[in-house]
Amino acid sequence: MPVLPLAQGEPQARDLLRRAIEASYGLRPPVLDSLKLSFHGRARVRLGPVNAWVPVSAEATFRFPDAMRWDFTVRPLGLPVQRGVEAYDGHQYYSVRGGRVLDADDAAQLESLRRRLWAIAAMLLTPLSNTFVRLHSDSDHRLIATHTHSQDSASITLRPDRSVEQVEVTCANADGHIGTHTMRLSEDHVTLGDLILPTKVHAFWNHEPHFEVEAEGAVCNPSIDSGLFRLEDLISRR
């Protein structure tokens, strides 16, 4: 049966989303309420006075459209392994740095994580087929998807074959500077269970490389306790 997006917005924008979903998944796309992904790759980080590429691995947990958590490990050559966590439970931003669990009241960082969550939802396409999404298209190769509760927007650029080329959101980086966060997707794909993902994702802040990763595992619609997004598993170990 054909894909029938329930999103609000112009008929041409809803049709463009439908064609993009069909280009990626065919006529039976997965319904994603929650998702766990594991990645490996490298990230651009500051080591003393210079920026350098270092190996990174990560696990990302999502409950669409309102919660996400990143657990990441950075392995600088010749330096101690660094681990961290960022999470958003739909209301509050949390982070772990240097083994300390922090409740962050920084509105810019909360907004940034929420918008990066929305960018990933846009990259996966199927979470956009919901009634809380408003779609707009200004051409036959670009969609603007707005979350009607938060008013966060993501710009989705499509290739001529309607596959996703890149997703952009405006938000703050780790230093608090507002800029464009871009995720650029490879043309080739990998199938992980019911999910079809780009083989590589390259991320940029204002055109400066930020990280590049490959997905290596995916679990669609796992049961996730809300406490995971409040870092309760880490707090209980203290």
Residue 201 has pLDDT above 90, yes or no: yes
Residue 2 has pLDDT above 60, yes or no: no
Per-residue pLDDT, 102: 56
Per-residue pLDDT, 173: 83
Residue 202 has pLDDT above 90, yes or no: yes
Which residue has better confidence, 229 or 31? 229
Residue 77 has pLDDT above 90, yes or no: no
φ, ψ of residue 193 to 5 degrees: the values are 65, -125
* Rounded distance between C-alpha atoms, residue 11 and residue 177, angstroms: 36
Across the chain, mean pLDDT equals 86
Q: Write down the domain spans for the chain.
A: 8-235
DSSP state of 228: G
CA count, 13 A, side-chain hemisphere, 76: 13
Residue 181 pairs in a beta bridge with 169, 205
Tell me the mean pLDDT in the region 154-168. Answer: 95
In this structure, the dihedral spanned by the alpha carbons of residues 65, 126, 211 and 202, taken in order and rounded to 10 degrees, is -150
Among 19-23, 26-30, 125-129, 182-186, name the one with the lowest average pLDDT: 26-30
pLDDT above 90 covers a percentage of the chain that reads: 46
* Contact between residue 131 and residue 7 where contact means Cβ atoms under 8 Å apart: yes
Which of left, alpha, beta for 41 (phi over 0: left; psi -120 to 50: alpha)?
left
* Contact between residue 128 and residue 121 where contact means Cβ atoms under 8 Å apart: yes
Per-residue pLDDT, 100: 58
Which CATH architecture describes the domain 8-235?
Clam (2.50)
E strand intervals along the chain: 8-9, 34-47, 50-63, 67-74, 82-88, 93-97, 100-104, 133-139, 142-147, 153-158, 164-172, 178-185, 189-192, 195-198, 201-205, 208-220
Per-residue pLDDT, 126: 87
* Rounded distance between C-alpha atoms, residue 221 and residue 214, angstroms: 20
Nearest to 212 by CA among 56, 52, 59: 56
Residue 75 has pLDDT above 90, yes or no: no
In this structure, the dihedral spanned by the alpha carbons of residues 232, 40, 44 and 97, taken in order and rounded to 10 degrees, is 20
pTM of full prediction above 0.75: yes
Which residue has better confidence, 100 or 125? 125
Per-residue pLDDT, 44: 86
